[in-house]
Structure 1
Amino acid sequence: MNKFLLLSFLFVSATLFSQEQNPLILNFQEYLGFVKKHHPIAKQAELTISVGEANLLKSRGGFDPKIEVDYDRKDFKGSEYYDLLNATFKVPTWYGIELKANFEQNEGIFLNPERTVPDEGLYSAGISVPIAQGLLINERMAALKKARLFRDQTKADRDILVNEILYNASLAYFNWLEAYNEKEIYQNFLINAQTRFEGIKKSALAGDKAIIDTVEAKITVQNRQLSLEQSKVKLMKSSLELSNFLWIGNNIPIELQPNVIPDNNVDAVIDQTLQIQQAMISEVDLENHPKLRSLNYKIEGLEVDRRLKANKLLPKINLEYNFLTPSPEVANSFNNADYKGGVTFAFPLFLRKERGAVKLAKYKIQDSQYELASVQLQIENKVNAITNELDSFTTQNQLIADIVNDYTTLLKAEERKFSFGESSVFLINSRESKLIDAELKRNKLQNKYFSTKAKLFKNLAVNPENL
């Protein structure tokens, strides 16, 4: 068992069997690091790069040298009709030019005269050149260019997938943090309500307070208990949702245990963790956004396809020349009198198929260019809108903090007046209810603030390698 699995096992064991100990804080930055490294979808995103590399390797195979051997023999009623051997070595090159070396040995009583060669066989070396269609671009060349673009596109797509999973994981963490804080709010106010109930109960028994005050204080305790139980259910659900993003090596899921709690210091680390500091945002070049890079690579691939289809409008003209020699030892003589050559020509009269293919290729490029312009504008507008929204949240957070402080002051003042007999349980409960509402509102506002920052991270598509 390696060190990481051992530590993970100890962590899970500790949370399962040592819940009586101090709580374990799951830091936001460490949590995202876990998700990026071990979540199956993040690993799946890495596979897209491997697919691109494999596709590139496959396309490079179109330029692999090739050996071809053709052997044919016929014997009938004791006669050797023919015995044909033809071995060829071909080397494709970038511009459609093909180099060939050939050995041919034929014999037999019914041999076609054109196949007659010296007894030792016939050697040849030559070249095949397309001078129109297939010279500047051909199927092999286009396949390799598109494979290189596809490889680069898969890297951009990988970044998009990883950013998406990190965004969703961040939202799950913020929801968990909100549910935990909500539970803590109700738990703290339940303690206050129970303390107040015990004090009123003693005062009522001593004759200093009316008995009816104990009933109202008890109802408040029961309401706080009910709210606390509901918040615990919400916390349990958010914990399970967060557990969907927690994995360790070999695709082993981790279930979040009750003694693991979120970090309440997220506000101090979120910008650095998500790499969305103001200085970094100002340096962001949206033209390098993975979504835009992916679309640009797609357009470049379609342009290669258009060039290939446009090249098919040219006639097929292939020139071939092969130098012949009965022995490879005399190949350096370059006797031009011994050769085999030829020209092939083909050209469709109307070119309707080829012209239609070119038009379709152009329309696909235009469609992708429209999509690129639209997506670029959407990203720019979303980033600007989110930035403005964050500025507003900064003001809202300050306002709600002031409101909570003022409600806290009012509640303390009301409790002091109650201790002097100048207030009532009803007024204290009213002040406390408004303070609870303000605390919950601040908690929800914090969640929206963090979620908006995660949305900014998603729309900026920060390189996950920088996290």
Structure 2
Amino acid sequence: MNKLLLYSFLFLTTVLYAQEQDSVTLNFREYLGFVKKHHPVAKQAELNISVGEANLLKSRGGFDPKIEVDYDRKKFKGSEYYDLLNATFKVPTWYGIELKANFEQNEGIFLNPERTVPDEGLYSAGISVPIAQGLLINDRMAALKKAKLFREQTKVDRDILVNTILYNASLAYFNWLEAYNEKEIYQSFLINARTRFDGVKKSALAGDKAIIDTVEAQITVQNRLLSLEQAKVKFMKSSLELSNYLWIGNSIPVELQPNVIPDNEVDVVIDETLQIQQALFTEVDLVNHPKLRSLNYKIEGLEVDRKLKANKLLPKINLEYNFLTPSPEVANSFNTADYKGGVAFQFPLFLRKERGAVKLAKYKIQDSQYELASVQLQIENKVNAINNELDSFKVQNKLIADIVSDYTTLLRAEERKFSFGESSLFLINSRESKLIDAQLKRNKLQNKYFDTKAKLFKNLALNPESL
């Protein structure tokens, strides 16, 4: 990336006047490398992955062990009504099972009899098991599964965002290239017009041509100057638009210097830079398309929601058993006669809320599946249409190249006849105008050709790793 550092130096420093006259070419591949590495939107896309990681970390917190301490004491008019201490350590597990260890110490003159424990306190270790709702899937499991899917979805969404900014940056570069070529076309023909004007003026002063011919030659020079000035304005605007995508370092915007010009060999490197070679010559496999993968992750997340809501149709049945011991030293005795256990049962009679939630979850999945099928068909049709359009542009570019060549031949022949006195300035200007129009048309066709290749890159949602 040494050239990138060189460009940033050229962009950000003031150079001597002599240096400013030397043009520096901004390569298309390295330009996109700048955009991908430093553009704020590209960096913003990377933040989405960090959000996915943070969301996953948050969901894993549902399985963190917990310590709970409940202490309550009441003392009134010199009497200790009660002094209650209850400390619990809980370990949630994957299948809704919860392991617990507990220490309880209670005393007081008005203590509830059921809270009576040995003076040294009471220890317990046990397990809580849901045997219906919450066993195979529960809120904690669903949140973690969806967080993992969301993390993967953020990665492909990042690729889509980066692809979009690279596509827009490519269009800006191609517009800049078109404006530059248009300026160069008018510049070259302005030189021709001035040379012709000087020749006609000398001939008129020598009496070989009429003075009126110099007026026509001068009008041509003025027209070329006018067109050149308009082209310069267009080039300046396109340069500023290109600067919108040039950033370096810590979000520092860069402005193009006047001596920086586009690469006129874009047609040689564009396919490799955008990595669309395979799409141009073979049928593209859209299975790994980021947009489709993102929708698939979305559907998988909705499927997790559906399973969770379907699980809530089951009754809540929680079994709990706690082994009791007055001292942790005798915990290995496992005296099953000392225990605390229970069963909790809950079940709504009509299940209208739960059944409605399951139906809504199914409808969301169906909606996303329809969206997936529609998007896949749209992408396939767009890619096929773009490939057909590219084939047509190849033919059009070949035709316009031949037209430019033929107009050039006609102009050269007309100039030769003019030098022999067998033609007029009017005919030369007419031939030249036709040639200018043809070159401008070729320039526009080339830009449309490049734009269409960038459109193929966008619809395939590619993200070149080599930039």
- Shorter-chain TM-score above 0.5: yes
Whole-angstrom distance in 1 between the partners of 2:246 and 2:322: 66
The aligned residue for residue 72 of structure 2 is 72
1:59-106 alpha-carbon deviations (Å, 9 max, x no partner) = 000000000000001111111111000000000000000000000000
Q: Does 1:366 align with 2:363?
A: no
The aligned residue for residue 311 of structure 1 is 311
The aligned residue for residue 33 of structure 1 is 33
Shift of 1:7: 7.2
1:221-274 alpha-carbon deviations (Å, 9 max, x no partner) = 000000000000000000000000000011110011111000000000000000
Q: Does 1:21 align with 2:21?
A: yes
The aligned residue for residue 131 of structure 1 is 131
Q: Does 1:214 align with 2:214?
A: yes
Shift of 1:43: 0.2
Alignment of 1:45-124 (within 5 A): 45-124=45-124
The aligned residue for residue 378 of structure 2 is 378
Describe the shift of the 1:182–1:15 C-alpha distance in structure 2 as closer, same or farther (beyond 3 A): farther
The aligned residue for residue 322 of structure 1 is 322
Whole-angstrom distance in 1 between the partners of 2:57 and 2:29: 37
Whole-angstrom distance in 2 between the partners of 1:6 and 1:439: 33
8 Å Cα contact 2:11/2:256 also seen in 1: no
Describe the shift of the 1:466–1:303 C-alpha distance in structure 2 as closer, same or farther (beyond 3 A): farther
1:397-440 alpha-carbon deviations (Å, 9 max, x no partner) = 11111110000000000000000000000000000000000000
Whole-angstrom distance in 2 between the partners of 1:286 and 1:329: 64
The aligned residue for residue 153 of structure 1 is 153
Alignment of 1:161-172 (within 5 A): 161-172=161-172
Shift of 1:462: 1.2
Describe the shift of the 1:446–1:87 C-alpha distance in structure 2 as closer, same or farther (beyond 3 A): same
Shift of 1:327: 0.7
TM-score under structure 1 normalisation?
0.97
1:39-64 alpha-carbon deviations (Å, 9 max, x no partner) = 00000000000000000000000000
The aligned residue for residue 334 of structure 1 is 334
For 2:265, the aligned partner's letter is N
8 Å Cα contact 2:10/2:257 also seen in 1: no
Whole-angstrom distance in 1 between the partners of 2:397 and 2:55: 51
8 Å Cα contact 1:5/1:249 also seen in 2: no
Describe the shift of the 1:285–1:279 C-alpha distance in structure 2 as closer, same or farther (beyond 3 A): closer
1:349-390 alpha-carbon deviations (Å, 9 max, x no partner) = 000000011111111001000000000000000001101111
Whole-angstrom distance in 1 between the partners of 2:120 and 2:146: 46
Q: Which runs of 4+ in 1 moved over 4 A?
A: 3-7, 14-19
For 1:216, the aligned partner's letter is E
Whole-angstrom distance in 1 between the partners of 2:280 and 2:388: 16
Describe the shift of the 1:384–1:7 C-alpha distance in structure 2 as closer, same or farther (beyond 3 A): closer
Structure 1 SS opposite 2:44: helix
Q: Percent identity of the aligned residues?
A: 88
Structure 1 SS opposite 2:276: coil
Structure 2 segments unaligned to the other structure (5+ residues): none
Shift of 1:211: 1.1
8 Å Cα contact 1:411/1:428 also seen in 2: yes
Q: Does 1:260 align with 2:260?
A: yes
The aligned residue for residue 418 of structure 1 is 418
Whole-angstrom distance in 2 between the partners of 1:358 and 1:294: 23
For 2:311, the aligned partner's letter is N
Describe the shift of the 1:457–1:18 C-alpha distance in structure 2 as closer, same or farther (beyond 3 A): farther
Whole-angstrom distance in 1 between the partners of 2:377 and 2:453: 20
Structure 1 SS opposite 2:149: helix
The aligned residue for residue 354 of structure 2 is 354
Describe the shift of the 1:466–1:295 C-alpha distance in structure 2 as closer, same or farther (beyond 3 A): farther
Q: Does 1:186 align with 2:176?
A: no
Whole-angstrom distance in 2 between the partners of 1:16 and 1:103: 81
Shift of 1:192: 0.1
Whole-angstrom distance in 1 between the partners of 2:345 and 2:4: 67
Whole-angstrom distance in 1 between the partners of 2:288 and 2:140: 29
The count of aligned residue pairs is: 466
The aligned residue for residue 455 of structure 1 is 455
Shift of 1:287: 1.3
For 2:232, the aligned partner's letter is K
Whole-angstrom distance in 1 between the partners of 2:182 and 2:271: 24
Describe the shift of the 1:427–1:6 C-alpha distance in structure 2 as closer, same or farther (beyond 3 A): closer
Shift of 1:466: 4.2
The aligned residue for residue 205 of structure 1 is 205
1:254-305 alpha-carbon deviations (Å, 9 max, x no partner) = 0111110000000000000000114786374211100000000000000000
Whole-angstrom distance in 1 between the partners of 2:121 and 2:362: 52
Whole-angstrom distance in 1 between the partners of 2:371 and 2:219: 60
Whole-angstrom distance in 1 between the partners of 2:363 and 2:308: 15
Whole-angstrom distance in 1 between the partners of 2:44 and 2:113: 62
Describe the shift of the 1:394–1:129 C-alpha distance in structure 2 as closer, same or farther (beyond 3 A): same
Whole-angstrom distance in 1 between the partners of 2:52 and 2:414: 69
The aligned residue for residue 396 of structure 1 is 396
Shift of 1:12: 2.1
Structure 2 SS opposite 1:153: helix
Structure 1 SS opposite 2:457: helix
Whole-angstrom distance in 2 between the partners of 1:7 and 1:256: 10
8 Å Cα contact 2:11/2:257 also seen in 1: no
Whole-angstrom distance in 2 between the partners of 1:466 and 1:7: 19
8 Å Cα contact 1:16/1:257 also seen in 2: no
Whole-angstrom distance in 1 between the partners of 2:343 and 2:440: 85
The aligned residue for residue 405 of structure 1 is 405
For 1:195, the aligned partner's letter is T
For 1:53, the aligned partner's letter is E
8 Å Cα contact 1:101/1:126 also seen in 2: yes
8 Å Cα contact 1:81/1:109 also seen in 2: yes
Structure 1 segments unaligned to the other structure (5+ residues): none
